[in-house]
A and B are shown apart, each in its own frame.
Chain A
Amino acid sequence: MLHIFDPNTRTDRDLGTPPPALTGNTVSLSIDGHAIDVPEGTSVLRAAALAGIQIPKLCASDNLDAFGSCRLCAVEIEGRRGMPASCTTPVAEGMNVHTQTDRVAKLRRNVMELYISDHPLDCLTCPANGDCELQDMAGAVGLREVRYGYEGENHLVAEKDTSNPYFTFDASKCIVCSRCVRACEEVQGTFALTIDGRGFDSKVSAGQNDDFMDSECVSCGACVQACPTATLMENSVIDQGQPEHSVVTTCAYCGVGCSFKAEMKGNEVIRMVPFKDGHANHGHSCVKGRFAFGYATHPDRLTKPMIRDSIDDAWQEVSWDEAMQFAADRIKAIQAKYGRDSVGGITSSRCTNEEAYLVQKLVRTAFGNNNTDTCARVCHSPTGYGLKQTLGESAGTQTFDSVMQSDVIVVIGANPTDAHPVFASQLRRRLRQGAKLIVADPRHIDLMTTPHGGEALHLPLRPGTNVALINALAHVVVSEGLEDRLFIAERCDPAEYAAWNAFIREERHSPEATESITGVPAESVRAAARLYGSARNGAIYYGLGVTEHSQGSTMVMGIANLALATGNIGREGVGVNPLRGQNNVQGSCDMGSFPHELPGYQHVAQDGPRKAFEDAWGVTIDNEPGLRIPNMFDAAIDGSFRGLYVQGEDIAQSDPNTQHVEKALSSLECLIVQDLFLNETAKYAHVLLPGSSFLEKDGTFTNAERRINRVRKVMPPLAGKEDWQITQDLANALGYAMHYDHPEQIMAEIASLTPSFRGVTYQKLDELGSIQWPCNDAYPNGMPIMHEQDFPIGKGRFVVTDYVATTERANRKFPLLLTTGRILSQYNVGAQTRRTSNQSWHDQDWLELHPHDAEERGINEGDWVGLTSRAGDTVLQAKISIRMQPGVVYTTFHHPVSGANVITTDNSDWATNCPEYKVTAVQCEKVAQPSAWQERHRAQHKKQWGLLKTPEPTEPVVK
């Protein structure tokens, strides 16, 4: 690939060894006559790189600790004997280093000669040709002959391991530099790889001589990236050759928001390589972002706008103009007949900020109401509510890097190794450094078994009892005097604190009193509270296991109470950190997607902000909230809500109580779906607008740290339009004029109307790489850690959090509690990952149940199990597992045919209507055939794909 090397501008070059822990001291030395000052502890290799001097190296990389095995980076140092490896030699004051002498040149040639004597000389046909460090180093040291010959004992016939669908392990090309092994340990933290054997027999081995696929390998790609040769190589590069240009952009999977270099050949992505200067991921990735991008060019992609009169008709391909006119006419006719409030829109947490902004703007202008909502409704709406009430801002308080300063890490209702893998790797690194881990989760999560991470304190609570647990933790903190009185006195509202203190001290909140509710031994709760309460820095990370409950909002406030009471807010290493599910959940919330808020969380009833929007948009905005998604469904069934515009969300699969959702969607007179695929929702649509993938558009995503990252277009949209253009065209067809030429102009409008975004521009994003909002005159470069001095509401507010049991309870008919979650290889409804080789890891959802529950019901591993709740029933295959406690069963929801949400009920969070996905009372029994819903689903799937007239419909996995 074309590399233009400029040490002053390239931010992702390899400096050989990691930066040292800063002591504040600098050391002066001379390298090849160049004087340079570097921080104490820097390696000679790194110091040289910083001075613009490249020392040959093979086993060194600045994301791995120095290893000193290849001996290629040997240098001469005046006054020292021999030729030390520069990677393992720290700088010293006054040192004189010579990187190029006859002696080291000879040594390096000898080293290379030995390497090459056991290396296939097939450079011209090798997939690494053009991107091989071994080849580069052979050139750099001037290797001209191999005196040993090639006939001796060698590894050239070693077999390839092609078990992983995304990369190949070709052991014949391995130089045993251990970079892959160290990357697996230090970067990813999985420890799946090792060097097996000794001396000449040494070889890289996955697991205990397993195939990569059968080992603990999680296919994060860190080893492939670390490999200096063709030993570990992406299959896409093997097939297609080296990419020729690259563009830095942001991953569209989870809320970590990793930066990637999309490495391209023309308009085709050859590989996605994690960007070293990515501020959220620092050059790491997971199996989804790194490899699972093939969905973007999958043949299932919709490429033509389509319309139909009824959902039983065949789809008719039309021009964009016709589709827009058809949609606009229908919406206008509905509004004329049923009133202005009879239609609404849903913004996507997968689309960009600019696109979410535009959809809510369309709803508030062209539709003329506040009936806008977003898929964040069903995941983190309680976070928005709860943190706003207590801390004054609807967002997490930290950077991801902050975890490296944490001493005690509490993870509640989150499964980072599966759902936020790149952050989990950082978390694990901190655990290996000695931080303590407390996990509150009904299941045993993989984070608890972090290699070399110490023992985790597990609080295995019963689903639905979060608030009782958090109150018990706070009770111990307060009753044992572990609170931070100074912080409370200085930073918190005294009257509210006094009321909360009196409340939380009540004996009914003690661990002993709540043990019968939560099922967690009182001693464990006390131990956890003492650990967190007395930590120098205690940080709380939480996920949907907190929010997706009938008391989701209460629990978020309970977490904030606990952090405030212990003074764990407002500096590095602490904080309240929601782990956001989708790439742009934070952003879609920020962008005014909720029916009660304009962008920047400005309530529609606030006259000042509303007037600013009214003036800018030239319309009158309703000063009362509109309908939330579940309210829209109810109103649809009622008949008062008739038209819906859905941008990139599959509500028919992802929302609870599927049969209720299907009934609502069937009641609509106009459903406009804008998506990449014919998803479950699109099967009920009248207008299909083919959307664009993240590779096909410009914009920004905002990750769980409030970090605004640029999304850059690397290929033209398959269907001709970026999503913001589609929304703009629809607005124009509806008679509301929008004329943006580029998302940059949309961001300028957002910045002009949203105080927390006031200083955000594309230019600044390009300059800084990313910005954590708020970004305004006071914080021109953004704010990494929030609430350092004060809260946006002045004082922190304690809120009384009574535990109220959910109405969804186990009883004789439904004795088990079902809870749901994600798995590493699949993403949410699976629309993207199911269309990639990630299927190799998880091609169906399983019902996990405890051996005790299985035995009582005569269920064996692999049996088909009928799962019944008050809402519906489905059939899944059983996996016997002791991850759950008896009485709790678990499944993922990545495959539509599993019907996980046929089971979930329409219970929801009291404050935000976020569905109670995490608690459903169920019964299960062994069965022989799919459920009635699954039979209907299969028939409907076949029929709707037939109506699309695509040649090869992808059959759902029904077994």
Chain B
Amino acid sequence: MSPQIDTLVKMINQIADNAPRQETPEATAEAVVSHLKKFWAKPMKQEMREYVKAGGVGLNEVAAEAALRL
């Protein structure tokens, strides 16, 4: 993992915390996914996918769910 992953973890957690709240955590995770698809560059998404597969330490619940769905 590159040192950049710390920033990406911080970013996705922040998006998960701030994305307009939906009725279920799954729906919020889906909103996070669509945000990432819309705004994150390919290598950033790729790195996040790999990170969550490797355990995803430090990701909050919604962020982890979003990363898995990415």
Contacts and interface: CB of A to CB of B under 8 A. Distances in A.
Interface in B1-22: 2-4, 7, 11, 14-15, 17-21
B43 A341 contact: yes
Contacts of B38: 596, 603, 605, 625
Please classify how large the interface on chain A is, using the bins under 10, 10 to 19, 20 to 34, 35 or more: 35 or more
A741 to B, nearest CB: 35
Interface in B23-54: 35, 37-45
A638 B4 contact: yes
Residue in B2, B4, B17 with the greatest tally of chain A CB atoms within 10 Å: B4
B22 to A, nearest CB: 9
A913 B11 contact: yes
A637 interface: yes
Nearest to A595: B41
A285 interface: no
Given A638-B3, A640-B2, A554 B39 contact: no
Given A341-B43, A624-B42, A911 B18 contact: yes
A911 B21 contact: no
Interface stretch (A273-281, A393-401, A626-634): A626-634
B4 A804 contact: no
Contacts of B37: 605
Contact of B20 (A595, A637, A638, A800): A800
A218 B18 CA distance: 42
- Tell me what chain B mostly uses at the interface: helix, strand, loop, or mixed: helix
A901 interface: no
Contacts of B44: 627, 631
Given A637-B3, A638-B4, A625 B21 contact: no
A553 B14 CA distance: 12
- Say what secondary structure dominates the interface of chain A: loop
Interface residues of B, number: 22
Contact of A625 (B4, B18, B39): B39
Nearest to A627: B41
Contacts of A596: 38-39
A910 interface: yes
Contacts of B18: 550-551, 553-554, 802, 804, 910-911
Nearest to A802: B21
Contacts of B39: 596, 625, 628, 911-912
B20 A635 contact: no
Nearest to B7: A634
Interface in B43-68: 43-45
A231 interface: no
A341 B42 contact: yes
A799 B18 CA distance: 12
Contacts of A595: 41
A341 B14 CA distance: 26
A82 B11 CA distance: 78
Interface in A520-571: 550-551, 553-554, 557
Interface string A877-907: 0000000000000000000000000000010
A626 B21 contact: no
A370 interface: yes
Contacts of A637: 3-4
B3 to A, nearest CB: 6
B68 to A, nearest CB: 19
Contacts of B17: 804, 910
A910 B21 contact: no
26 contacts: A341-B42, A341-B43, A370-B41, A371-B41, A550-B18, A553-B18, A557-B20, A596-B39, A622-B42, A625-B40, A626-B41, A630-B7, A631-B41, A634-B3, A634-B4, A634-B7, A638-B2, A800-B21, A802-B20, A804-B18, A906-B7, A910-B15, A910-B18, A910-B19, A911-B15, A911-B18
Going nearest first, the 5 A-B pairs with the smallest beta carbon separation are: A910-B18, A910-B14, A634-B4, A638-B2, A638-B4
